Amino acid sequence: MNTSGPSKDEEPSALLRAYFEKRTNLVRFFAARTGSLEAAEDLAQDLYLKLSTREDPLETWAPVALLYRIATNLMLDRARAAQRSANRDAGWRMVARTDLGGAEIDDAPAADEVIVSRQRLSQLIDAVAELPPQMGRAFRLHKLEGLSQIQTAQVMGVSVKAVEKHVSVALRTLIRKLQP
């Protein structure tokens, strides 16, 4: 974003003129209070955006004082938002955590377990795709989509006994293919 000032056609407000004159000091002001030059630059940019997008320019007899008041309020608003976010995150961690002997336990599976599980799932999907069409359809409807054997038989237009046979043969085939 260009913070060099307004276009030549329009005259900047007293606040914008004060901003351009004091920008370096404002960055130092923010950096001293936040402890971060990056945060200070972000705040200075936010201040510029706030001032430059106002439809009704604020005119005052003390533009520098008003500029620093707006800057302070902007910095405080950002600090409050960060505090609310931290409190919300801490509250969530307290609700969602698991303790074992005073140590926090992560319930998420280990990365290598996730990779192995994804590989096994991929193998299962490939193995189901290789089943004969009727057997694969019976297996998918009953085991994956959760239809009962009666519902599966109705959808497929076959007997319940045929569904039982298709599913049992499919299970044996898949177990055999997926065993290490």
For residue range 136-163, what is the model confidence (pLDDT) as tens digits? 999 999 998 899 999 999 999 999 999 9
d(C-alpha 31, C-alpha 27), whole Å: 6
Instruction: Provide mean pLDDT across the span 8-14.
Output: 68
Contact by Cβ (8 Å): 71, 26: yes
Please count the helices (runs of H) and the strands (runs of E) in the chain.
7, 2
Residue-averaged pLDDT of the chain: 86
Confidence of residue 102 (pLDDT cuts 50, 70, 90): low
Give me the count of residues in the chain. Answer: 180
Q: What is the dihedral of CA 80, 82, 83, 87, to 10 degrees?
A: 140
DSSP string of 29-67, one letter each residue: HHHHHHS-HHHHHHHHHHHHHHHHT-SS----S-HHHHH
The model's pTM is: 0.48
If we measure between CA atoms, which residue out of 113, 107, 117, 36 comes closest to residue 75?
36
